[in-house]
Structures are given as C-alpha cells and as structure tokens.
C-alpha cells in the first residue's frame, strides 16, 4: 500500500488529555485522548468503496494489499498516523448526558490528498477508549454493514454525509443483546473506516461549555473555523456569528435532503450532529417505505418517537438551540446567535420549497404548491403508499389521461388503494392543471423529477438480506447492493428487484423495520 501524507492539525493544535492509553475516565480541560486501536485476531477486507478510496488517491492494488486490512483492522499504523479519541458531550433524547466522547471510534489522522483536500480517517469499532464507559469499544458486523452501505448510498443520492472507505471483519466475536431484552448473543465483529473533512459534532462544543472551560471552548471554535470553514473571513464575535450561521445553514440543507429521499436518522442526539452538516453516525437509521411522518425505525425511541421522520427539521432546530446555548459565552448579546437560528428557518423553508419544486417537476414552488404537496403527503399516508415508488413513478403518469396505473406498484394495501383512489384522482387533476401552467415542458419536468426522486434507496429489508447472507457466509451481497446504490437515479434495467416495495415478511421484522441502538 502506498504511503499517505498526514497533517494532523487537530492533534497539533489542541490540548490533549495528559494521560494516554485506555482506561475509562473523566477528561477535563482537554479535547481528546491519545489511544491506539487494539489489534484483532484476523483482519480481513470485506468491502471497500472505490470513490472514497479515490479521495485518498488509493486504488484497487492499495486497498486489496494485505497491509491495508491490517491497518484498517487496527493492527498496524501507517507512518504519520497519530490515533486519538475525541472528547465530547451531548444531549441524548432531549437530556444533557455529560461526557460521552468517542467510545469506539478512533481517529487515525488527517490525510491530505494530491489535490490538497484534507480527510480525517476514523476507525469505528477499534477497541476501548477513555470514553467507552461501560461498553467494549467494538462494533458488530450487521451494524458495520449498515454504516458502510448507507454512507456511500447517501453520497450517491447527493446527501451530505461522512464517507466509508472500508469494511474489515475482525475474526473475533462481540456479544450484544440486540433488543436489550435478556437475549445476548455472540456476533461477528467488524470495523468500518469512516472518512470526513471533520468529525466535529455539536457535542464537542457543548462539553467544554457545560464545564465552564471557556478558553478551551474558544480555542476549539477558532480551530474549527480555521480548519473546516476556511471560506469564512473576519475576526472576533462577527466571525463566530458567521460560523454559527453557516452551521445552521448546512444543517438545514442536510435535513431537507433527508426529507427528499425518505431517510430517518433515528438518533439525532447532539453528539450525532456534525458541524459540517454531514449525516453522521449511522445506527438505527431507516428509510421510509409507506409514507408515514410518524415512523421511526429506532425501538429505543419507541415511546416518544422523538426522532420520527416528520420531526427531523424541528429536532435539528432544537439541537442548534443547544449549540447556540453552548456558544453563548462567546457573545456579548444573544442577537448574533438568534440571527443564526433565523438563518436555519429561512434556509430550511427555501430548501423545502426547492424539494417541492423538484419532486413535482415544477420550475418553482409557489405558495399554492406547498398546499398541493401537503395534500399529497396526506394522501400518501392515508393510502399507505410507498414514498419512493410514488414519486419516481409520478413522472410517468400520463397527465392527459389521469389513470393511476403507473402508480399501482406504490400501494401496500388493496383496500386502502380502493378507498383513496377518488381523492388521488382529484389530486392528479389538480396537479395536471398546475403542471400545464408551468413554464417547464413535459420532458423538462420529467427530467427534473427523475433527478430528485431516486429509483433506488437503501431499503431496510434490502440491507437486512445482505446482512443475513453475510452472516451465513455469502458476502457478495454487500458489493452487489453498493453497485446498485452507486446510480440511484438511473433506472438500471435488470435491477428492478432492488426497487420494489417492502415485502410483507419484512413489515415487522427485526432489522427491517425495527432497530435498536445496540450495535
Ligand atoms: P451512539 O448512540 O452510537 O451515537 O453512541 C453514543 C455514545 O455511546 C458515544 O459516546 C459512543 O462512542 C458510545 N458507544 C456506543 N457503542 C459503544 C461501544 N460498543 N463501546 C463503547 N462506546 C460505545
Ligand atoms: Mg454517536
């Protein structure tokens, strides 16, 4: 494997925990702890992403070399790597949880590619750190397959996300009680290498603020602006205000993408919110099959369903208010932070309009179009219709005929289909009138819709099938599904089976519609 150039600015520029190595502890006045991955029995490369490898100037020969599996399984370090775990806190399910930190993620360093881009490499599941609390620092194969595939699928769908370079099995088992109900089992272990310009989360700022460590907070903010937001100019409070507004804008854009493609994060705690507005920490996430704004895949959140699909925008806003509270000691008055939050509302509203225009194939979204989309959402919900299939096939409805034949695949329930059909026909008529008034011609409308409404999303059951096969020894499903997800907006003749609605058997099956935080 060829060497990578490392420039570890986080380590070089910020205060470290004076103690090094593992051992669970409270870490004050420091933003990270030096800790090395713990070697595993038999690291073996299971899957990799060629696009993410290319970001690091790595090719197939590099990635398939035996050295690669050793490094990205945690058994060796490349020259220049300086592993560490970051110290952060977070609001979990609405409550301040104190110090959390990277309990099973170990950053290896910041690689700089030939184009000068900086990519932090991070192993997830590489062993315990000072932040592991009661847990083992490891990850199971099923959740690692889920993170690997979804990181790359999201990227190809055009959603801002951390990336996944590799998936390595460890040759060791990990014990997990999947639904925390007294049924622990030994599962195969794995390690994903995640890649992002920065893994800083809201929680990295909340923790020093909660402890009154204000010089440390200020230092981290200035560092993050210099390293991760080089486009921002100015100084002092004005610069900090611009930065917060930028975090708000990016967060709004990310959430709008989630809503466009039907992604439910599942655990929007503030320690899982990236300051770069990247989707981060793929745990009990899920994809909307039948349109239901109240759905969450996360059984750990079944009671209040705080992180349900339809609440993601307001939860993101709440999370930003937590970040604003953490940053408030840096500001003489609250106005700059309030303006940042206002930016969130504006950018979110504009992005929602953009989603409506693109999903319905309109040049622009007028006020009436918001109501048109709201009505459609209500119909999709009441009629139990598949979100992805409906929007994708809507482009193919002949608006001069108004038949719902091309939408037939979207229905999960024949009774509900019959009940909703008249109302849906009314809606289609309304939509046909609107489309006829629009400056876009038919072909332009269809092209716009096909670029916004994917044919393929990473349906929960598809990933579960890949996991079942991999656990039974057939690993080929991972690369197969990744290949489909590389072109989610193409029709891909021959791959129709990946675009079908969720089969009945998957409706209430673990892994397909129910997931927990146990991973
Ligand atoms: P999550 O819900 O995955 O974002 O995790 C919340 C916190 O728990 C983070 O601080 C994680 O590092 C930590 N954590 C989750 N799973 C483990 C594990 N198996 N070992 C150590 N820490 C973990
Ligand atoms: Mg997390």
Domain-located, residue 423? yes
Structural domain boundaries enclosing 305: 203-357
Same domain, 157 and 259: no
Beta carbon of 136 within 6 Å of any ligand 1 atom: yes
Q: Are 120 and 110 in contact (CB under 8 A)?
A: yes
- What ligand has the least distance to the C-alpha of 266? 1
CA of 271 to the centre of ligand 2 (A): 6
With 0-12 CB in 10 A as exposed, 13-18 as middle and 19+ as buried, what is 278?
A: buried
CA of 164 to the centre of ligand 2 (A): 16
**What is the reported pLDDT for 514?**
86
Compute how many other C-beta atoms are within 10 angstroms of the C-beta atom of residue 463. Answer: 25
Backbone angles phi, psi at 14, to 5 degrees: -130, 155
Q: Are 312 and 220 in contact (CB under 8 A)?
A: no
Same domain, 223 and 346: yes
Same domain, 372 and 495: no
CA proximity to 46, closest of 456, 517, 467, 459: 467
With 0-12 CB in 10 A as exposed, 13-18 as middle and 19+ as buried, what is 50?
A: middle
Domain-located, residue 428? yes
Q: Look at residues 289, 323, 357 and tell me which one is the last residue of a structural domain.
A: 357
Backbone angles phi, psi at 47, to 5 degrees: -160, 155
Backbone angles phi, psi at 190, to 5 degrees: -155, 165
**What is the reported pLDDT for 399?**
86
Same domain, 145 and 28: yes
Domain-located, residue 175? yes
Q: How far apart are CA 175 and CA 307, in angstroms?
A: 27
CA of 270 to the centre of ligand 2 (A): 9
Q: Look at residues 169, 199, 229 and tell me which one is the last residue of a structural domain.
A: 199
Active site residue 271: yes
State the maximum Cα–Cα separation within the chain, in Å, rounded to a whole number: 72
CA of 341 to the centre of ligand 1 (A): 29
Q: How far apart are CA 120 and CA 125, in angstroms?
A: 16
| Best probe residue, ligand 1, of 126, 132, 192, 297 (max atoms within 8 Å of C-beta) | 132
**What is the reported pLDDT for 509?**
87
CA proximity to 301, closest of 323, 258, 268: 268
* Active-site entry in 17, 102, 271, 301: 271
Same domain, 261 and 312: yes
Buried b (16+ CB within 10 A) or exposed e, 285-299: bbbbbbbbbebbbbb
Domain-located, residue 447? no
Compute how many other C-beta atoms are within 10 angstroms of the C-beta atom of residue 341. Answer: 18
Same domain, 303 and 397: no
Token pair in block for residue 475:
């690993």
Q: How far apart are CA 347 and CA 251, in angstroms?
A: 9
Beta carbon of 423 within 6 Å of any ligand 1 atom: no
- Check the CA dihedral 305-310-312-318 and report its sign: negative
Beta carbon of 103 within 6 Å of any ligand 1 atom: yes
Count how many domains the chain has.
4
Domain-located, residue 2? no
Compute how many other C-beta atoms are within 10 angstroms of the C-beta atom of residue 509. Answer: 15
Same domain, 29 and 156: yes
Beta carbon of 87 within 6 Å of any ligand 1 atom: no
Same domain, 353 and 373: no
Beta carbon of 384 within 6 Å of any ligand 1 atom: no
**What is the reported pLDDT for 489?**
98
What is the position in ligand 1's atom list of the atom closest to the CA of 102?
12
**What is the reported pLDDT for 367?**
97
Beta carbon of 137 within 6 Å of any ligand 1 atom: yes
Q: Look at residues 142, 170, 199 and tell me which one is the last residue of a structural domain.
A: 199
Same domain, 37 and 148: yes
Domain-located, residue 450? no
What is the position in ligand 1's atom list of the atom closest to the CA of 129?
21
Contacts of 314 (CB under 8 A, 6+ apart): none
Q: Are 511 and 142 in contact (CB under 8 A)?
A: yes
Domain-located, residue 254? yes
- Cα→Cα distances 118→32, 115, 488, Å: 19, 9, 27
Q: How far apart are CA 456 and CA 495, in angstroms?
A: 9
Q: If DSSP codes are grouped into helix, strand and coil, which group holds residue 46? A: strand
Question: What does each of the 519 residues of the chain score in pLDDT, given as a tens digit?
Answer: 999 999 999 999 999 999 988 799 999 999 999 999 999 999 999 999 999 999 999 999 999 999 999 999 999 999 999 999 999 999 999 999 999 999 999 999 999 999 999 999 999 999 999 999 999 999 999 999 999 999 999 999 999 999 999 999 999 999 999 888 999 999 999 999 999 999 999 999 999 999 999 999 999 999 999 999 999 999 999 999 999 999 999 999 999 999 999 999 999 999 999 999 999 999 999 999 999 999 999 999 999 999 999 999 999 999 999 999 999 999 999 999 999 999 999 999 999 999 999 999 999 999 999 999 999 999 999 999 999 999 999 999 988 887 788 899 999 999 999 999 999 999 999 999 999 999 999 999 999 999 999 999 999 999 999 999 999 999 999 999 999 999 999 999 999 999 999 999 999 888 888 888 888
Same domain, 411 and 495: no
Beta carbon of 146 within 6 Å of any ligand 1 atom: no
Same domain, 320 and 348: yes
CA of 149 to the centre of ligand 2 (A): 17
Contacts of 213 (CB under 8 A, 6+ apart): 28, 29
Token pair in block for residue 329:
């000691």
Same domain, 294 and 324: yes
The environment of the single-atom ion ligand 2, i.e. residues with CB closer than 5 A, is 272, 281
- Cα→Cα distances 288→42, 456, 457, Å: 37, 12, 9
Contacts of 397 (CB under 8 A, 6+ apart): 403, 404, 406, 407, 428
Domain-located, residue 448? no
Backbone angles phi, psi at 335, to 5 degrees: -55, -45
Beta carbon of 100 within 6 Å of any ligand 1 atom: yes
CA proximity to 174, closest of 133, 129, 130, 144: 144
């Amino acid at each position: 494997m060829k060497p990578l150039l490392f420039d570890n600015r986080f380590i070089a520029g910020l205060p470290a925990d004076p103690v090094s190595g593992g051992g669970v502890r409270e870490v004050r006045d420091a933003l990270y702890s030096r800790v090395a991955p713990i070697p595993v029995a038999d690291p073996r490369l299971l899957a990799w992403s060629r696009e993410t490898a290319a970001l690091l100037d790595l090719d197939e020969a590099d990635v398939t070399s035996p050295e690669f599996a050793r490094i990205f399984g945690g058994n060796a370090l490349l020259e220049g790597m300086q592993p560490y775990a970051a110290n952060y806190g977070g609001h979990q399910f609405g409550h301040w949880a104190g110090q959390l930190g990277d309990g099973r993620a170990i950053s290896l360093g910041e690689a700089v590619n030939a184009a000068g881009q900086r990519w932090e490499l991070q192993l997830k599941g590489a062993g315990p750190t000072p932040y592991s609390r009661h847990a083992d620092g490891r990850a199971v194969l099923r959740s690692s397959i889920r993170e690997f595939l979804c990181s790359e699928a999201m990227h190809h769908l055009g959603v801002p996300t951390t990336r996944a370079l590799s998936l390595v099995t460890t040759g060791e088992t990990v014990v997990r009680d999947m639904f925390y109900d007294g049924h622990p089992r030994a599962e195969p272990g794995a390690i994903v290498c995640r890649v992002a310009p920065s893994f800083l989360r809201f929680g990295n700022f909340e923790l020093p603020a909660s402890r009154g460590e204000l010089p440390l907070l200020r230092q981290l903010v200035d560092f993050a602006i210099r390293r991760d937001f080089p486009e921002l100019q100015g100084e002092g409070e004005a610069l900090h205000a611009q930065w917060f507004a930028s975090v708000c804008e990016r967060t709004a854009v990310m959430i709008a993408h989630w809503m466009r493609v039907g992604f439910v994060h599942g655990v929007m705690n503030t320690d899982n919110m990236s300051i770069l507005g990247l989707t981060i920490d793929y745990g009990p996430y899920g994809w909307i099959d039948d349109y239901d704004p109240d759905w969450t895949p996360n059984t750990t959140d079944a009671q209040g369903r705080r992180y349900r699909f339809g609440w993601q925008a307001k939860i993101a806003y709440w999370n930003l208010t937590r970040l604003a509270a953490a940053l408030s000691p840096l500001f003489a008055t609250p106005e700059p932070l309030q303006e940042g939050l206002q930016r969130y509302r504006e950018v979110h509203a504009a992005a929602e309009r953009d989603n409506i225009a693109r999903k319905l194939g309109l040049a622009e979204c007028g006020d009436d179009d918001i109501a048109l989309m709201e009505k459609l959402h209500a119909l999709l919900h009441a009629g139990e219709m598949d979100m992805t299939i409906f929007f994708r096939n809507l482009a193919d409805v002949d608006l001069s005929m108004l038949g719902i034949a091309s939408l037939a695949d979207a229905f999960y329930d024949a009774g509900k289909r019959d009940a909703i059909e008249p109302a849906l026909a009314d809606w289609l008529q309304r939509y046909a009138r609107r489309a006829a008034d629009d400056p876009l011609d038919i072909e332009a409308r269809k092209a716009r819709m096909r670029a916004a409404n994917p044919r393929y999303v990473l349906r929960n059951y598809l990933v579960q099938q890949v996991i079942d096969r991999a656990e039974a020894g057939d690993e080929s499903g991972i690369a197969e599904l990744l290949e489909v997800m590389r072109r989610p907006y193409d029709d891909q003749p021959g791959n129709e089976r990946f675009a079908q609605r969720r089969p009945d058997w998957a409706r209430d099956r673990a892994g397909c519609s129910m997931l927990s935080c146990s991973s």
